[in-house]
Structure 1
Amino acid sequence: MTNALTIPSVSSLDSLDQYLRTIKAFPVLSAEEEYDLATRLRKDNDIDAAKGLIVSHLRLVASIARGYSGYGLPQADLIQEGNVGLMKAVRRFDPDRGVRLVSFAMHWIKAEIHEYIVRNWRLVKVATTKAQRKLFFNLRSMKKNSHTLSPDEVADIARELKVKPEEVVEMESRMGGHEISLEGNSDDDSEDSFSPIAYLEDQQPEPSELLAEREAEHNQTVGLAHALESLDDRSRRIVQARWLQENNSATLHDLAAEFGVSAERIRQIEQKAMQKMKGMLSAA
């Protein structure tokens, strides 16, 4: 990694399109390259390593930010906020956890974008483009009262303004709308109440939760192996044949024929083995 590596920003380039073209030029890191850079950052506080991790994931931020374009906020600002989240993720990333940065960083990127939307978003953006502003002012002057336009009136206005009828209907809806609090009404606890903030919340588990779940699964797998090793050969064979085969699990009668005992005896051995394993797993 050279000292010449810099992190581009939307504001430092002439346009959003130029920024998007610039970040596409940065290569995607292999797992080995990512691990090496993350290790250098974590152990040696290598700033160049941090830059390498960041620039290789700028496309991820732009992709996530694109999903929030419907809130009427500048795409460049959404990307900038997402980049802040990416930087926070890079600083906290532990390569020894066995999780790729792309998975770990998504939570932090979305969290920053959500926070930005909460600070700046209005649910109803009356006019965000030049064409919408023109339609807004023309429609205000042409509407004779506050009643909802009839289909015939919509068609007449659309024809006169040379726009689509659905554009007239949408603008009328915006004009008659009102701002809604992102937080909702804290005094209303009914099941029918809702607030837009609920739809901003990332429903995916946080990285810490994913790591804890992965560690729990690993511990259970290791514990199961140890519990099986504690059984005698016959008991282990019965448990594996009955419970640990993906397809065609053996029946009590199958195992009875294999060991030359009754099906009831196989059931007793299985029950005793399962109780022993359960005790070991609970103590782990």
Structure 2
Amino acid sequence: MAHLDDVQTQRANLTFIRSAMKEPLLERDHEQELARRWREKGDERALHELVRSYTRLVVAAAGRFRHYGLAMGELVQEGNVGLMQAASRFEPERDVRFSTYAAWWIRSAMQDYILRNWSIVRTGTTAAQKSLFFNLRRLRAQIAGNPSSDAMSAEGRQEIARILDVDVQEVETMEMRLAAADQSLNNPLTEAGDGEWQDLLPDQRPSPEDVVIGMRDGRMRSKWLAEALGELSPRERQIIAERRLRDEGVTLEELGRVLGVSKERVRQLESRAMNKLRVSMLKRVRDQGELFAEI
């Protein structure tokens, strides 16, 4: 998580905020003129005036997101990035106020920053999860009738799922994520310091025995496949090699031109060769499960 602002940074932020709030608001016609000068002529002075006049939108948005525990200054910086993106994409001919257009870009930039930095574990990778992350606390407080309440009943979870059009399971999962802070896996299990939390994590890698067995089985399957291919005709082996044993197999049409037959004939020959391989491979195993996949 990003560190909170120190005293000097807070003073700098306050100076910036005061300066932003003193910038005069733009009349609609002047705003459109500035946008056109920037879009059509690349007038940087027009861009700077347009952006400075709406920096107050960034400050307001940062204030709404301050309870996520991230530095106010960093939220403002991200919001300024969104404001610049809005200025570069704004189309004055659409007859929409720049403030309305820029508000979405500012909010989007801040939300993306919050999701990347709120936790070490990435939160909100889908649209439903993002909606839950930014609305769960507010809806929970509304349903409970208490802004400071963290408790939520089963009926409350169902209501939130209905409002946000998500599964109840997703509501429960996000509720647990918001309630649990990040913890280091190096934290001791007990006050006496006996072991760490990471000692309880299972090792998902295959055991040495599994690795050796896999290597042995792989060699055996390769031997079976080579023997089965030897039972095919030269043309059938060529078709299987070109179509099935390459990273990017050739098309039926391309192979048909090489063999001097139609692509439908190549398809028939390939199907017949695959059936022969299947029968040959199954003769060599005691159980079909010994093969990685059906041939």
Higher RCO, Cα 8 Å, sep 6+: 1
Same fold (TM over 0.5): no
- TM value normalised by structure 1: 0.40
- TM value normalised by structure 2: 0.39
Radius of gyration: which is bigger? Answer: 2
